[in-house]
Amino acid sequence: MKAPLRLLAAALSVAAATSVAHADDYPSKPVRVIVPVTAGGGVDTAARLIATHLRNELGQTFVVENKPGAGGNIGLDLLAKAPADGYTLAVIPNTMTINHTLMSKLPFDTLKSFAPVALLGTTPAVLGARGNLAPKSLKELVDYAKQNPGKLSYAGCDTGSALHLAGEMFKQQASVDVTHVPYKGCSDSVPNVLGGQVDLIFITFTNIAGYVKDGRMRVYAVAADQRTPYAPDLPTGAEQGYPGFNIDIWYGMLAPAGTPADIVNKLNKAVNVVLKKPDVQASFATSYVTPVGGTPEQFGAKIRSDVERYGAVIKKANIRVE
């Protein structure tokens, strides 16, 4: 073998050995897990639960750090700029797929700056309403809205959130004129629906389950193709004639782009094991969140699909948040 070829073969052998060593040795020190929202919410709770179990699965501490601000972009920017070695991860909500189109200037590229690890869990949005609203079904609601353009109003929690976009998507698909009433959060909007100041609300079921049970609110549709296992009696938008009415809130794990595939796959395998743990499934169930898992490629496809879907709604509704 000629010298250059011997050198090339040796280099490839070293590279292969290094790749295997990555998988065998990782993690050899504590792993930082960025959560780009404040402590105490659903994303933070899920991140801390997953981190605890990953320590047991992989033999190292996974340290959760909350880095809120700028709609999650501060934490995501930290992740994008971190070394691509598997020692900085993030558990993120799906607002990143919305901000890609919603915000004109981002310090990173949503589709290029990150390596998807796994989709952790998801819960669909629902179209709810005050209990004494006249229409009794989604068809009756759409008919009423068409006969009374601009008369109905809806709350979608934070402006620019998935729950706000759920309202705009519904308006676009049903061809109805319903007034958006902006709020800074679900905690402010739900009381106003109960009080009759706002007619409709797009929200996750966990936030209104008690009010639906006692009759003070009703649900016209789950924004999904299939019924949620946590409330199987609730009809979906798809089965009522709106198959494209899909809005879910999800949590996922990311690494910086360029993280070795063997490390990503090792993390993915461990996360899938963790998501099957009874206490993890029970914790998710309290928030009506379905554990998902799957491959990094499937999670990457979900991110790209949501960027495209939300982008289309945002552009058509001319929504902008700087």
In terms of DSSP bridges, do strands 217-222 and 114-130 run parallel, antiparallel, or are they unpaired?
antiparallel
With 0-12 / 13-18 / 19 or more C-beta atoms within 10 angstroms meaning exposed / middle / buried, residue 301 is: middle
Nearest to 298 by CA among 268, 276, 262, 321: 268
Task: Work out the pLDDT band at 8, boundaries 50, 70, 90.
Answer: very low
CATH superfamily name and code, 123-240: Periplasmic binding protein-like II (3.40.190.10)
The pLDDT, as a whole number, for residue 322 is 59
Using CA atoms, how far residue 177 sits from 153, 191, 225, in Å, is 9, 23, 24
What rounded mean pLDDT belongs to the chain?
Answer: 92
The pLDDT of residue 13 is above 70: no
User: Does the N-terminal peptide bond of residue 116 adopt cis geometry, omega within 30 degrees of 0?
Assistant: no
- Closest-CA residue to 37 (of 158, 206, 123): 158
pLDDT of residue 177: 97
Share above pLDDT 90 across residues of the chain, in percent, rounded to a whole number: 84
CATH 3.40.190.150 fits 29-122+249-317, yes or no: yes
Residue 104 has a pLDDT of 79
Instruction: Provide the 8-state DSSP code for 116.
Output: E
Higher pLDDT, residue 199 or 5: 199
Closest CA to 177 of 202, 155, 148: 148
> Using one digit for the tens of pLDDT, what is the confidence trace for 55-110?
999 999 999 999 999 989 999 999 999 999 999 999 999 999 999 999 978 999 99
Question: 222-267 pLDDT, tens per residue?
Answer: 999 899 988 999 999 999 999 989 999 999 999 999 999 999 999 9
Burial of 104 (C-beta count, 10 Å sphere; 0-12/13-18/19+): exposed
Alpha carbon 42 to its chain centroid, in Å, reads: 11
Contact assessment for residue 279 and residue 115, using Cβ atoms and an 8 Å cutoff: no
Q: What is the spatial distance between Cα 42 and Cα 95, in angstroms, rounded to a whole number?
A: 13
With cut-offs at 50, 70 and 90, classify the pLDDT of residue 186. Answer: confident
Domain edges within the chain: 29-122+249-317, 123-240
